[in-house]
Amino acid sequence: MAFSDRISNGWKLAMSSFKILKANQQLILFPILSAISLILVIGSFFTFLAAGSGWDLDNLGEFSRTEYYAVLFIFYVVNYFIVVFFNMALIHCTRLYLNGEEVTLKKGLQFSVSRIGAIFSWAMVAATVGLILKAIQENSGIVGKIVTGIIGLVWSVATFFVVPVIAYENVGPIDAVKRSTQMMKEKWGESLSAGFSFGLIHFLGLLVICLPLFFLGMLIHPIVGIAAAVAAFFVIMAIMDAAKTIFVSAVYHNIKGDVSEHFDQQLIDSLFRPK
């Protein structure tokens, strides 16, 4: 299949994800709740560190290497837990919709709560990998940074289906990575056209919405311009995160044999096809 055809198919699949989101606008609340939770966590960590330094901000970053990595690991675990918790809730709601069932915020959250042990286990593994890559990056030269960048990319691809796997296949985090990798090997085609399409849509959204709002707001007051642009940025981020998670859920269920009328079967097969 030509590269241009793959880009076209990726675009159509992305549009299908947005259609599902449009039909279930409450799904956008999951990434919004995730973002709010992350902001609260970051604020809590900053407050904790500031209190630990006697509210002397000049000494805020004075930690031993062990203390630094210990705090960073805890921070990573909490962040990964929050992100996966709400992503799993969104994935479950997408499954409900694709199966023609009623979709509610409560059902998604209840499902994530029921899988809280699996979510925490995965957060620990993801945080460990993230911490190792961070340590290598901070203690190596340019070659080390390039290597960690490549490893990070490979890890992202290998864990593409991890969240739905730990949600529905009742496996541990290591087996979830193996299962996700296996699914990728079986179905991932030569192109990342869907990811490219989401990235393009994201860029166009920022260009067409954020910039005009910024300049229009600046006519009133600089603070208004900045506030409008920041608000638009977070809304676009929430929409994109929700659409991408819907896409992951839909493709996962397609690979599992759950065909949905909301996604073109041939398009998904052309993008996620055996090599």
Question: Do 72 and 62 contact (CB within 8 A), yes or no?
Answer: no
Ordered per-residue pLDDT tens for the chain, 275 residues: 555 665 666 677 778 888 888 888 889 999 999 999 988 888 887 787 777 666 665 665 566 778 788 888 999 999 999 999 999 999 999 888 877 888 899 999 999 999 999 999 999 999 999 999 998 888 877 887 888 889 998 898 889 889 999 999 989 999 999 998 888 776 655 345 666 667 777 788 788 888 888 888 888 888 888 888 888 888 888 888 888 888 888 778 777 766 556 666 665 655 555 44
* Residue with tokens 């839909």, as numbered in its chain: 250
DSSP class per residue in 90-106: HHHHHHHHHTT----HH
Cα distance between residue 247 and residue 244, in whole Å: 5
| Four-point Cα dihedral 144, 148, 154, 157, nearest 10 | -160
Cα distance between residue 272 and residue 110, in whole Å: 31
If one counts every other C-beta atom within 10 angstroms of the C-beta of residue 118, the result is 22
Looking at residue 221, its pLDDT comes to 84
3-class SS at 145?
helix
Cα distance between residue 191 and residue 193, in whole Å: 5
The pTM for the full model equals 0.82
Q: Structural domain boundaries of the chain?
A: 3-271
